[in-house]
Structure 1
Amino acid sequence: MFRKLHLYFLPHPDNNHRAFILQPKFLAFLIFIYLLNQSFLRSLTVLKPGILGYASEITSQKVFEFTNQERLKYDLPPLSFNSTLARSATAKAQDMFENNYWAHTSPTGTNPWDFFKQEGYQYSIAGENLAKDFYDTETVIKAWMNSPTHKANIINSKYREIGIGIVNGTLNGIKTTLVVQHFGTPISGIVSGDQTSEENNYNTDKVGIIESPEIIVNPAVSKTINPVTVSKTLGLIMFTIILSVLLIDAYLTYKNKTYRLSGSSAGHISFLAIIFLLLLFSHQGTIF
């Protein structure tokens, strides 16, 4: 049993000095398994959208703190947290789930400023940032800061207040997390909602829960798993196995001075290293 098993991982005369895992037929089988998994997850999210879902570690407090940290890098004063803007940001995310769209303006023509007005926030200047399918706050902020238009909102010296809505729900048949930032400066002399500066205690209690679609503000880590996470995890497992076998193969080939007519292990390792870097830095989430 062990003798047959080790042929999959170690070069040996019985496998022509090439581990079975590294041979074309087995590699093709692994690719087939990965593609089958992709098809299964895609079908499952459409037929049973409640089975797979979001897994987010993003909180309003972290978004609030990291946003102000970015402003401080540009010698700008921190924004104050405003509860009215938080409600308008949450309402915007809820509307995107209810009407199944991903944009600043809804299919019915509702624009971001309508949500400000609905909550009674009277502004002299306002802005909005959107993000979805991210799993941690750092990545969200980094994506926004890498986008000139989103960065312009974060470091706009004219803004004084911010509200954040973080909402879990189902969009286009897939459970995801939407992050909405609403920036604003109230009309002079008008105060809308409660304000909290960065130095004060920040309230991270849940603002509200709506049954359909599922709305949770400041969510904790969810028990459901995002299908993108499943795919990446499977890909990393396969990559790790193949790379490990390649390293062992390269070492034993060099140690035993085995001569091969086929490609070298070093070349294969370099190719896999490039794939790993692409996988590691692959795009996560979407901003708007």
Structure 2
Amino acid sequence: MPAVPPPPSAGATAPAAETAQYVREVADLVNAERVKAGCTVMVKVNSKLTQAAQAHSEDQDRRQTMTHSGSDGSQADARIKAAGYSWSNWGENVAVSPSATAVMAAWMNSPGHRSNILNCAYQDIGVGFSAAKGGPWWTQVFATPR
């Protein structure tokens, strides 16, 4: 895998190409964990889920608050639907962590987050990343289409 540049420092905004690298890296790390756990279905990056995850990471960054609730009171299910994805089940992980590798290690060491990552029923993933005011703030959104 090519070297991934470090996340931008606080106050910097990651260019779109760099953010896309983080999305791909997290998705690859998720699928590596799913293979180890015996999942036969690997998650595919979905642009609608990524849109929902990215908007939530940016919202958390603006507020400097790690939470599953949006500033408008929304939860992940509503944000996923608003992005145009019709789901039958979903899960969300959020974190503040310096890198894709570090955030995945933290999520894998947390039972609830690990459960989302290793839920073999999920088929799609979206990943959000924001470091405009600090962080970086990460969001994973998992879902299975309806």
Shared fold per TM-score greater than 0.5? yes
**2:42 aligned residue (78, 87, 92):** 78
Separation (CA, whole Å) in 1 of partners of 2:11 and 2:137: 10
**2:84 aligned residue (99, 120, 135):** 120
Query: More relative contact order in 1 or in 2 (CA 8 Å, sep 6+)?
Result: 2
1:95, distance to aligned residue in structure 2 (A):
2.0
Larger Rg: 1
Q: Is the 8 A contact 2:92 2:142 kept in 1?
A: yes
Change (3 A) 1:108 1:54: closer
Change (3 A) 1:107 1:151: same
Residue 144 of structure 2 is aligned to residue 180 of structure 1 = no
1:121, distance to aligned residue in structure 2 (A):
0.8
The RMSD of aligned alpha carbons is 2.2
Stretches of structure 1 that go unaligned for 5 or more consecutive residues are: 1-51, 188-288
Stretches of structure 2 that go unaligned for 5 or more consecutive residues are: 1-8
> SS at 2:136's partner residue?
strand
Aligned to 1:8: none
Residue 68 of structure 2 is aligned to residue 111 of structure 1 = no
**1:62 aligned residue (8, 25, 29):** 25
Aligned runs of 1:4-83 on 2, under 5 Å? Answer: 53=10, 59-76=22-39, 77-83=41-47
Separation (CA, whole Å) in 1 of partners of 2:135 and 2:108: 22
Separation (CA, whole Å) in 2 of partners of 1:135 and 1:94: 16
1:102, distance to aligned residue in structure 2 (A):
1.8
1:100, distance to aligned residue in structure 2 (A):
4.2
Which amino acid in structure 1 is aligned with residue 69 of structure 2?
T
- Which structure's residues are more often helix, by fraction? 1
Aligned residues: 131
Change (3 A) 1:82 1:93: same
Separation (CA, whole Å) in 1 of partners of 2:30 and 2:108: 10
> Normalising by structure 1, what TM-score?
0.42
Aligned to 1:147: 110
Separation (CA, whole Å) in 1 of partners of 2:60 and 2:103: 19
> Normalising by structure 2, what TM-score?
0.80
Which amino acid in structure 2 is aligned with residue 53 of structure 1?
A
Separation (CA, whole Å) in 2 of partners of 1:146 and 1:63: 16
Aligned to 2:5: none
Q: Is the 8 A contact 1:101 1:107 kept in 2?
A: no
Separation (CA, whole Å) in 2 of partners of 1:122 and 1:147: 28
1:101, distance to aligned residue in structure 2 (A):
2.7
Aligned to 2:132: 169
Aligned to 1:39: none
Which amino acid in structure 2 is aligned with residue 140 of structure 1?
V
Aligned to 1:138: 101
CA displacement 1:216-251 (0-9 Å, x = unmatched): xxxxxxxxxxxxxxxxxxxxxxxxxxxxxxxxxxxx
1:108, distance to aligned residue in structure 2 (A):
4.3
Identity %: 32
Which amino acid in structure 2 is aligned with residue 87 of structure 1?
Q
1:60, distance to aligned residue in structure 2 (A):
1.4
